[in-house]
Amino acid sequence: MEYRQLGRSGLTVSALGLGCNNFGMRIDQEQSSAVVQRALDSGITFFDTAQMYGKGTSERYLGAALGKRRHEVVVATKFGAPIADGPDRATGSRRNVIRECEDSLRRLDTDYIDLYYQHYPDSRTPIEETLTALDDLVRQGKVRYIASSNVAGWQIADAEHLASNLGTERFVGTQVEWSLLKRAAETEIVPACRRFGMGVVPYFPLASGLLTGKYSSGTPFPAGSRLETVPSLAADATAENFATIDRLDAVAKDRGHSILELAICWLLAQDEVSSVLTGATSPEQVAQNVAASAWRLEPEAIAAVAEVLG
C-alpha cells in the first residue's frame, strides 16, 4: 500500500481509502467488521464515513469494528447533510457543527476525529461562522484537520481566503465525485485545489459500478447490482458511456489490466489526488480493490486514456 500526504498538510493517508457508506445500509455489523479487518490487514489506514450514512449507523459500525486499533488509522467523518424539514436547516451553524461533532464522537466511540468534512455547503450560514466553529473544535482537540466536500471551485477559494484573513484552521482537502466518466471536477475544483495545496479525495471512482466490467450495453443489469437496485444511477448507463467504456476497456486489456484497475489507477496518477475512496460489501471486494490499485500507469497509458476521453 502506498501512503500520501493530504495536500500540503501533515496528515498521511493510504492511497486507497475505504468508503463506509455501505455500513448499516447494505451490510450489517458482522459484515462491516469483516470488511474493516481485511482493509486493516491490507494496509488501508483511511476510513471515510458520515453522519448521514445509515442515519449514524455507519459511524457506530466503524467505531465498533476498529475497536482498539482506532489509533492506528485516520478516521474521516462529515457533518452538514441537508435537512429536508424542521425549523433549523442551517447545517453549517456553530450550533449544528458542535452538536454533530459531539454526536459523531459518541457513535464512533472515540475522543477525536482525524478529518472532519463539511458534507455540503450551507447557503444559510456564512462560511466564516462554520470555519470559526471548526477552529474551536481543533483547538479543543476534538478534531485534527478539516476539509470540504461537494463544493464549487469558487467556494474553495472563498474558504481559503477567509481562513487566512481570520487566522482559523483551513480546509486541507476536498472530497468530490470524479471518475473516468464523471469529470466535471477537472474544470474548476481540481485547479482550485492545486492552487491552494489541498488534497483531492475522489468518491465513486468506479462510476457506481459502470467501470467494473460487470455491465455491458444492451444486456440487463445483474440482479441485486447497484444499477439494478438504484434506478437513479442507471441514468448513466447510456450508449455514449458504454462506447467510452469499451474503448477504455481496450486500453486496459492491451496492457494486461482490467478496466477496474484503470479506473482506480488513472485517478491515483493525478497529482492532486491524495486518496481514492472505494466501497466494499465483502472482504473479497476489499482485496480486489487493493490489488487493482497496484498498477502505476505509464505515460503512454495516460496518453491513451486522454485520447479516448478527448
Residues with active-site annotation: 53
| 273 DSSP 8-state letter | B
Of 31, 26, 108, whose CA–CA distance to 74 is shortest? 108
CA dihedral 56, 60, 65, 70 (to 10 degrees): 100
| 53 DSSP 8-state letter | G
User: How many Å apart are CA 299 and CA 67, to the nearest integer?
Assistant: 42
User: How many Å apart are CA 35 and CA 27, to the nearest integer?
Assistant: 10
Q: How far apart are the first and last CA of the chain?
A: 31
User: How many Å apart are CA 26 and CA 28, to the nearest integer?
Assistant: 7
Question: Which one-letter amino acid corresponds to residue 306?
Answer: A
Of 54, 73, 58, whose CA–CA distance to 112 is shortest? 73
